[in-house]
Amino acid sequence: MAIATDDATAIRAAAGGAEKRAYVRQIFSEIAPRYDLLNHVLSLNIDRGWRRKAIAELGLERNPRGTYLDLCAGTMDVSVALAHTSGFNGRIVSADFAEPMLRAGKSKTIGTRIAPVTADALELPLASGSIAGAIVSFGIRNVAGLDNSLVEVARVLEPGGRFVILEFSTPSSSLLNAAYQQYFKHVLPRIGGFISGHPTAYRYLPESVANFPTGDDLARRMQAAGFSKVRWRPLTFGVVAIHVGEREGAA
């Protein structure tokens, strides 16, 4: 059943209310055909470099034949980049609960060892300890239950397996943050709405970032979920951040 797509609904969903899961599934299903274009245009194409840095943190060279999870995989840009990493001979499970997003990226996966799976980040259809490493790129803030999803990722990772989170953040400079907020809250929603044809998807985006834990707070929540050696660093003056942790229990 379709849900309302007005600004008030977008704001409530971004805050993590009961509507979030259904709202997120609906809007990402609706913007799937133009999702890749929107990412590159709205980030001024910087998103490609951010993803490369996040993938490097995963440490594929530690287990190049392992099975890796691309969580909230969307149109599978990260999965494809993983599959084409030099020396990597493993398998990638691309999980997303918005099936149209996976379908929109299917043509990219031809000739690769990528397995798209329609699955919720809160209940992954994977055996405990079966994944060598996991990565999520701009998707974890859209999950209806952050802490539960962190625990679920820890469950499917093998001991010592890394989890890399690439997500929007807030610049530490007050001057830069003011300019960033103007773009994020006023310019981006208009451009995003025009290109996507969706009335509120890009109104939800800045609201979801504002409600998402950043920096040390997210690191603490990763530790509480069972990750050790947690570290993080900002990129592009703090516009985004990379968090890295390892599942506890390594030999």
- Say if 1 falls within a structural domain: no
Using alpha carbons only, give the angle 149, 123, 138 rounded to the nearest 5 degrees: 45
Range of the domain at 18: 7-247
- Say if 103 falls within a structural domain: yes
- Say if 2 falls within a structural domain: no
DSSP string computed for 109-121:
GTTS-EEEEE-BT
For a pLDDT cut of 70, what percent of the chain falls above it? 96
Find the CATH number of the domain harbouring 180: 3.40.50.150
Number of domains in the chain: 1
pTM: 0.92
Q: Is 39 left (phi over 0), alpha (psi -120 to 50) or beta?
A: alpha
Q: Which of 11-25, 96-110, 193-207 has the lowest mean pLDDT?
A: 193-207
Check residue 1 and give its pLDDT.
45
C-alpha torsion sign, points 103, 70, 36, 139: positive
Q: Which of 200, 247, 243, 233 has its CA nearest to residue 30? A: 200
- Say if 228 falls within a structural domain: yes
Q: What average pLDDT is seen over the chain?
A: 91
The end-to-end CA distance of the chain, in Å, is: 48
Tokens of 45: 């194409």
